[in-house]
Amino acid sequence: MNTQKTVELIRQSTLEVMSMMLGVQAEVGEPYEESGTTETFSGIVSLVSISGDWAGMGSIYCGSELALRLTGMMLLDDQVSTVNDDVLDAMAELANMIVGNVKTMLEADLGPLSLSIPTVIYGRNYRALHGIGKTRVVVPFEVAGGTMTIKFYILPQASANRGRQTGVVQNVA
């Protein structure tokens, strides 16, 4: 998948979701690529896997304060002040909408694709490794006074699984 096309699909999807669903404008930052583990991060990451003849993952990273503001916009409640199940659900839904839109646009070129149920992680000083050995396209957005970062990769299924052992259970006792 072409990096520039991927960036454009992420940009289009994110701007549309921010505008239509939250009524807020977002500014696109400078895209880049990364691989390996993420830098140490504090906040919320929402992950959605894509499967089909192609496989990959889209994720959204944002700090807690931005997550609170975005949740307040989604729920039409300016009193959201604590990261709770509502905030985690809202961030899962945001990832589902953005990554889902990208998936839908990709299907014209890649054929039918499916999405997983979102996974949301919240904490302080953690690192994430998703897409082991895969290069991710990273697109930062300035929105509602904070930075939200979208990370995405997609590869043909055979390449996406290369290097992974499946069906192996290892006793570590």
Helix (H, G, I), strand (E, B) or coil at 92: helix
Range of the domain at 85: 3-160
Segment 12-28 shows an average pLDDT of 95
Asked whether residue 166 is domain-assigned, the answer is no
**Does the pLDDT of residue 169 top 50, yes or no?**
no
Asked whether residue 31 is domain-assigned, the answer is yes
Residue 25: pLDDT band (50, 70, 90) is: very high
Asked whether residue 11 is domain-assigned, the answer is yes
Asked whether residue 170 is domain-assigned, the answer is no
Asked whether residue 75 is domain-assigned, the answer is yes
- The count of other CB atoms within 10 Å of the CB of residue 17 is 20
* Mean pLDDT computed over every residue of the chain: 88
What is the reported pTM? Answer: 0.86
User: Number of structural domains, the chain?
Assistant: 1
**Contact indicator for 149, 57 with CB cutoff of 8 Å:** no
**CATH number of 46's domain:** 3.40.1550.10
Segment 103-121 shows an average pLDDT of 95
Asked whether residue 47 is domain-assigned, the answer is yes
